[in-house]
């Protein structure tokens, strides 16, 4: 049907947020008196509600209501005329992400837009945009200090590092390569090698080269890296004005999110700094995407469309012709593999910065063989002595343990009773501070019983140890130790429990930075990213668990966590001379620890990749998980197995089965949460294309299977492409 010339009753296709697996997976048809260009934001009625929507360039035949008579279509409620339409690049990114991660386009598109857009009046929106346009159209950067009136001088001012930072030789080489190649790049730089400085320099160059260019800088958890935000702001505010650097993360209020989004979309923001959600930011002049700590699992979304922001960054860069730089001291094995030499098939350009800036040394890694320490000791005597020594010297130590709470289980000393959660297949964790048993999965929290609920024995005891107990234990062990000023030792614990309140983390970190803390105890939360200047000793109390985990990614995660943790020590070369990383282990000669001792990621990665290749695991194969939830395991698994069987009976899926392996449905690691049974099925293929093709076709089969009477009990199901946790 011709569209352009049918004035009052033109059909347009609009994406709205439809439930993920409803049958309304594509655009909906509406009537409009004009035909706004694709990417235009509109308000449309759906049922009783009015929703924000994006005009899409699907043909009417692709849209859901192609069968609906035109007379029954509803008119749109309004057009957000003052906003420029979303670009075709942006729309391609959304379409790709939806198709690759097997979700509805509307869901992905609308999740990427600030919900407040819907509620704003045209007048309010117009006012905001006018303000931003003024900023975006500023002819030259705002310069401070010496007046600079030629473009060249401005560019130099923009690129030079402030305060006379002289780039190291390694930084210079990395930046040269960045300048002369298209990427994508993997900046493989030791902790403290000056990666952030390289990111800022590359950003400055690209922004200086083109007056409208924009850069996207992603970090795994913005709350944990306020320092990065500060550094970028300090560097670029003075050049491009206060509005040039905006943040985008889930911790922002809806109004803040809207403002950042508008600044990025209008071009007023030159730099967007954000968490994984920022990969979908509308940035019409995007020229650079940086993914800091690219190995971090938080780049993978755990709900809705389970996208990997790192992988989408690569795709988006390719789509938009923007350079992409991933950075890490311990790259993901996927990125490492992609950055192998080009003749071996590598597609990323690897930039290496092995040394710390200045005279900073990487810490000495020491392994304590726990087989030769007093039985059941938590902090071995040599580690305790080392911590005491640091305290006496006025230096800080960091002790971490990946388990919060006081003890993971409470147990009756007489009978078999353990603090199981009645609703989950997991134990409730004992929190001594408020004497509660808390389930970390469903949230159930109850007072600790006075006596064993099973046999009445009053003697119920904590088993194992969390950070809360470790903190208590350390305080006892260090009671005789004093600071150089004669004061008692100050211990602070930082984990998800102590940082629940807004601002708590910031104030605790400030205490550490101010030197008001001698020993910092915490979970992996403290091991990541922070630039602690005075910590000279980092200790992992019990890192062994992950060595023998059934999750094939566990060693990779452990190695990177320990390297990151070690990276917290000795960042200030003034006190770095004798910085140390301590590992308490029953397997001191394990190859993972051997590599760690040498700070040798490449050797570790090579051995892991060899194992992965032999076992045909990612990156040598591609995986997807289908998860299902029901009241019983039988139902949850039954659905998956039935859908798998049906795949063999339908032509378009059956044809692809030769290219992939389907595993039987199994209960998930934690099979039951809040009384819901969870099952999963793994699909694997040596070919990404074959897997994608299969999933696209199988999706319909899954819908059909779900509709069968025997699958009535299935509550939810979802596909996770490139899953991180199996």
Does residue 564 have a cis peptide bond before it, meaning omega lies within 30 degrees of 0? no
Binding-residue pattern over the window 194 to 213 for ligand ADP, x denoting contact by CB under 6 A: xxxx----------------
User: In terms of CB distance, is 572 or 594 closer to ligand ADP?
Assistant: 572
Residue 542's binding partner out of ligand ADP, Zn ion, none, with CB under 5 to 8 Å set by partner kind: none
Closer to Zn ion by Cβ: residue 173 or 676: 676
Considering just the CA atoms, what is the radius of gyration of the chain in Å?
28
Query: Restricting to residues 530-549, which ones interact with ligand ADP according to CB under 6 A?
Result: 531
Interacting residue with ligand ADP among 6, 46, 148, 167 (CB under 6 A): 167
Binding of ligand ADP by 168 (CB under 6 A): yes
Q: Largest alpha-carbon pair distance within the chain?
A: 87
Cα dihedral 689, 691, 697, 702 in deg (nearest 10): -160
Applying CB under 6 A, does 146 fall inside the site for ligand ADP? no
Between CA 272 and CA 284, with CA 278 as vertex, the angle to 5 degrees is: 60
Which region among 117-125, 159-167, 506-514, 635-643 touches ligand ADP (by CB under 6 A)?
A: 159-167
Of 201 and 337, CB closest to ligand ADP:
201
Residue 424 binding Zn ion, by CB under 5 A: yes
- Is there binding between residue 418 and Zn ion (CB under 5 A)? no
Residue 193 in contact with ligand ADP, rule: CB under 6 A: yes
The yes or no reply on residue 457 touching Zn ion (CB under 5 A) is: yes
Q: With binding defined as CB under 5 A, does residue 455 bind Zn ion? A: yes
**Which pair of structure tokens corresponds to residue 595?**
């590599």
Residue with tokens 């959600």: 277
Between 168 and 247, name the residue whose CB sits nearer to ligand ADP: 168
Which member of 269, 442, 540, 656 binds Zn ion (CB under 5 A)? 442
- Out of 123, 166, 501, 658, name the contact with ligand ADP by CB under 6 A: 166
For residue 125, state whether it binds Zn ion (rule: CB under 5 A).
no
Close Cβ partners of 80 (under 8 Å, ≥ 6 residues apart): 40, 41, 42, 43, 117, 122, 125
Q: Check binding of 441 to Zn ion (CB under 5 A).
A: yes
Nearest CA-CA partner of 292 in 276, 312, 306, 269: 276
Stretch in the footprint of Zn ion (CB under 5 A) among 2-10, 102-110, 414-422, 625-633: 414-422
User: Which H helix or E strand runs over 217?
Assistant: strand 214-218
In sequence order, which residues have a C-beta less than 8 Å from that of residue 410 and are 6 or more positions away?
A: 418, 419, 428, 430, 437, 448, 460, 461, 462, 463
DSSP 618-629: TTSSEEEEEEEE
Q: How many residues bind ligand ADP (CB under 6 A)?
A: 16
Taking CB under 5 A as the binding criterion, the range among 77-85, 336-344, 378-386, 411-419 that sits at the site for Zn ion is: 411-419
Distance CA 217, CA 423 (A): 41
Query: 169-180 and 195-209 helices cross at what angle (nearest 10)?
Result: 40
What secondary structure letter does DSSP report for 434? G
Residue 167 binding result from Zn ion, ligand ADP, none, given CB thresholds of 5 to 8 Å by partner type: ligand ADP
One-character DSSP codes across 650-672: SHHHHTTGGG-EEPPPEEEEEEE
Residue number, 418 or 473, with CB nearest to Zn ion? 418
In the complex with ligand ADP, the residue whose CB is nearer, 195 or 678, is 195
CB 701 within 8 A of CB 644: no
Distance CA 618, CA 683 (A): 12
Residue 171 interacting partner from ligand ADP, Zn ion, none (CB closer than 5 to 8 Å by kind): ligand ADP
Question: Per CB under 5 A, does 421 bind Zn ion?
Answer: yes
Q: Which residue of 414, 420, 572, 684 would you call a contact of Zn ion, by CB under 5 A? A: 414
The verdict on 189 binding ligand ADP (CB under 6 A) reads: yes
Nearer to ligand ADP (CB atom), residue 171 or residue 260: 171
Query: CB under 5 to 8 A by kind: which of ligand ADP, Zn ion, none does 423 bind?
Result: Zn ion
The pair of structure tokens assigned to 608 is: 């892991």
Selection from Zn ion, ligand ADP, none that 415 binds (CB < 5 to 8 A by kind) is Zn ion
The 10 Å Cβ neighbour count of residue 57 is 14
Question: Which residue among 42, 272, 412, 609 contacts Zn ion (CB under 5 A)?
Answer: 412
Of 414 and 472, nearer to Zn ion (C-beta) is 414
Site for ligand ADP in 336-365 (CB under 6 A): 357-358
Q: How far is CA 6 from CA 33, 90, 205, in A?
A: 8, 28, 49
171 belongs to the binding site for ligand ADP (CB under 6 A): yes
Given the complex with Zn ion, which of 320 and 677 has the nearer CB atom? 677
Helix (DSSP H) and strand (DSSP E) numbers for the chain:
19, 28
Interface with Zn ion: number of residues (CB under 5 A): 15
For the chain, what's the residue count? 726
- CA separation for the pair 506, 223 (Å, rounded): 9
Task: Tell me the torsion sign for CA atoms 496, 498, 499, 502.
Answer: positive
Residue numbers at the binding site for ligand ADP (CB under 6 A)? 165-168, 171, 189, 191-197, 357-358, 531
Residue numbers at the binding site for Zn ion (CB under 5 A)? 412, 414-415, 417, 421, 423-424, 439, 441-442, 444, 452, 454-455, 457
């Amino acid at each position: 049907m011709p569209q352009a010339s049918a004035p009052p009753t033109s059909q347009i296709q609009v994406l709205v947020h439809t439930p993920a697996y409803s049958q309304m997976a594509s655009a909906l048809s509406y009537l409009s008196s004009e035909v706004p260009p694709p990417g235009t934001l509109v308000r449309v009625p759906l049922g009783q509600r009015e929703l924000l929507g994006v005009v899409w360039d699907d043909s009417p035949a692709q849209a859901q209501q192609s069968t609906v008579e035109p007379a029954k279509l509803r008119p749109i409620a309004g057009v957000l005329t003052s906003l420029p339409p979303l670009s075709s690049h942006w729309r391609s990114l959304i379409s790709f992400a939806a198709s690759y991660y097997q979700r509805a386009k509307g869901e992905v598109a609308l999740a990427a837009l600030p919900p407040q857009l819907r509620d704003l009046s045209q007048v309010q929106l117009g006012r905001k945009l006018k303000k931003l346009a003024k900023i975006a159209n500023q002819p030259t950067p705002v310069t401070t200090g010496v007046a600079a009136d030629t473009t060249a001088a401005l560019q130099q001012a923009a690129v030079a590092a402030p305060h006379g930072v002289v780039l190291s030789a390694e930084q210079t080489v990395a930046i040269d390569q960045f300048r002369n190649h298209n990427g994508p790049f993997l900046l493989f730089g030791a902790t403290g090698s000056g990666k952030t400085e390289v990111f800022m320099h590359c950003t400055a160059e690209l922004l200086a080269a083109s007056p409208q260019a924009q850069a996207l800088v992603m970090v795994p958890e913005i709350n944990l890296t306020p320092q990065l935000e500060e550094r970028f702001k300090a560097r670029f505010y003075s050049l491009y004005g206060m509005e040039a650097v905006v943040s985008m993360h889930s911790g922002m209020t809806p109004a803040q999110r809207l403002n950042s989004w508008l600044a990025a979309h209008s071009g007023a923001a030159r730099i967007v700094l954000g968490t994984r959600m920022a990969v979908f930011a509308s940035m019409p002049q995007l020229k650079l995407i940086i993914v800091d700590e690219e190995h971090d699992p938080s780049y993978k979304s755990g709900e809705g469309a389970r996208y990997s922001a790192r992988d989408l960054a690569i795709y988006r860069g390719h789509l938009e012709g923007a350079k992409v730089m991933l950075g890490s001291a311990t790259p993901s094995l996927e990125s490492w593999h992609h950055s192998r030499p080009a003749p071996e098939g590598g597609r990323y350009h690897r930039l290496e910065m092995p040394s710390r800036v200045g005279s900073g040394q990487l810490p000495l890694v020491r392994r304590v063989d726990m087989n030769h320490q007093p039985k059941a000791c938590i902090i071995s005597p040599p580690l305790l002595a080392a911590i005491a020594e640091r305290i006496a010297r006025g230096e800080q130590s960091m002790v971490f343990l990946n388990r919060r709470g006081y003890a993971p289980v409470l147990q009756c000393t007489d009978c078999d009773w353990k603090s199981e959660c009645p609703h989950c297949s997991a134990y409730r964790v004992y929190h001594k501070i408020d004497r509660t048993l808390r389930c970390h999965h469903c949230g159930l929290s109850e007072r600790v019983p006075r006596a064993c609920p099973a046999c009445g024995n009053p003697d119920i005891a904590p088993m194992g140890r969390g950070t809360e107990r470790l903190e208590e234990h350390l305080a006892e062990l260090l009671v005789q130790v004093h600071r150089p000023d004669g004061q008692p030792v100050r211990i602070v614990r930082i984990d998800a429990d102590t940082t629940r309140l807004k601002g708590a983390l910031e104030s605790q970190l400030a205490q550490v930075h101010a030197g008001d803390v001698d020993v910092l105890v915490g979970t992996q939360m403290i091991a990541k990213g922070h630039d602690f200047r005075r910590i000279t000793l980092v200790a992992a109390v019990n890192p062994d668990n992950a060595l023998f985990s059934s999750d094939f990614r566990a060693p990779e995660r452990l190695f990177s966590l320990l390297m990151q943790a070690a990276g917290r020590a000795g960042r200030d070369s003034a006190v770095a001379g004798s910085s140390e990383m301590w590992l308490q282990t029953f397997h001191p000669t394990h190859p993972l620890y051997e590599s760690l001792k040498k700070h040798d990621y490449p050797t570790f990665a090579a051995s892991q990749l060899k194992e992965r290749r032999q076992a045909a695991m990612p990156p040598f194969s591609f995986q997807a998980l289908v998860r299902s939830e029901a009241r019983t395991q039988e139902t949850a698994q039954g659905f998956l197995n039935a859908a798998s069987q049906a795949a063999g009976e339908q032509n378009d899926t059956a044809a692809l089965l030769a290219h992939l392996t389907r595993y039987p449905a199994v209960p998930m690691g934690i099979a039951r949460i809040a009384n819901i049974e969870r099952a999963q099925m793994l699909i694997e293929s040596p070919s990404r294309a074959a897997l994608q093709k299969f999933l696209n076709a199988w999706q319909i089969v899954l819908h059909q299977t779900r509709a069968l009477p025997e699958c009535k009990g299935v509550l939810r199901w979802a596909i996770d492409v490139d899953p991180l946790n199996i």
